[in-house]
């Protein structure tokens, strides 16, 4: 699963760039992933002598470096953002909707009772419970140090009990 993860250094650079633009250029907001070499170099670790520090990316406007940006409001936000719509569509969603209609008209026509729309980021909007299991597994894949937490050890003890 980790082969699908974004390169850590690229992610850290993107997050820092975004924070610089959102926070008006303050350098106190910095992010470095615990596994990246830039985290070691920032703390004077072994990578400090071997790798040069990344140069800051150019800011989109020079006014953002003069101080904090004004807060975003309905008056100063881009009108295209206000008109933006998110429509879930495509052949998979269309097929799922047809199956949903079929289940409503004849519940015994399919070998299942409900359709779980996993392509939608907010299942609560469809009156469904949060899909925490998928999110927890992805969190463990992306941040394996969570495995060292006491709560996680309890989960694996429970799974061992079920297997044994």
Which residue did the predictor score with more confidence, 60 or 17? 17
Quick: pLDDT tens for 17-55. Answer: 655 655 544 444 444 444 444 444 444 444 444 444 444
Range of the domain at 40: 7-76
Rounded CA-CA distance 43/65 in Å is 25
**In this structure, is residue 123 part of a structural domain?**
no
Count up the domains in the chain and report the number: 1
- The segment with the largest mean pLDDT, out of 29-43, 52-66, 71-85, is 71-85
Report which of residues 98 and 152 the model is more confident about.
98
Q: Quote the pTM value.
A: 0.28
DSSP for 20-31? Answer: HHHTTT-TT---
- Residues found in the chain: 164
143 belongs to a structural domain = no
Cα–Cα distances (Å) from 144 to 34, 56, 124, in that order, read 11, 29, 27
């Amino acid at each position: 699963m980790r082969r699908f993860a974004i390169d850590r250094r690229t992610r850290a650079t993107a997050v820092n760039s975004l924070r610089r633009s959102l926070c008006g250029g303050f350098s106190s907001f910095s992010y470095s992933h615990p596994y990246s070499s830039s985290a070691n170099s920032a703390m004077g670790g072994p990578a400090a002598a071997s790798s040069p520090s990344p140069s800051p990316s150019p800011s989109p406007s020079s006014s953002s470096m003069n101080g904090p940006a004004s807060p975003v409001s309905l008056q100063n936000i881009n009108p295209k953002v206000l008109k933006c719509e998110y429509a879930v569509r495509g052949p998979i969603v269309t097929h799922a909707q047809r199956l949903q209609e079929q289940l409503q008209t004849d519940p015994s026509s399919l070998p299942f009772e409900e359709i779980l729309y996993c392509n939608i980021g907010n299942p609560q909007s469809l009156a469904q419970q949060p899909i925490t299991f998928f999110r927890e597994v992805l969190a463990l894949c992306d941040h394996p140090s969570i495995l060292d937490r006491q709560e996680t050890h309890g989960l694996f003890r429970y799974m061992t009990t079920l297997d044994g």
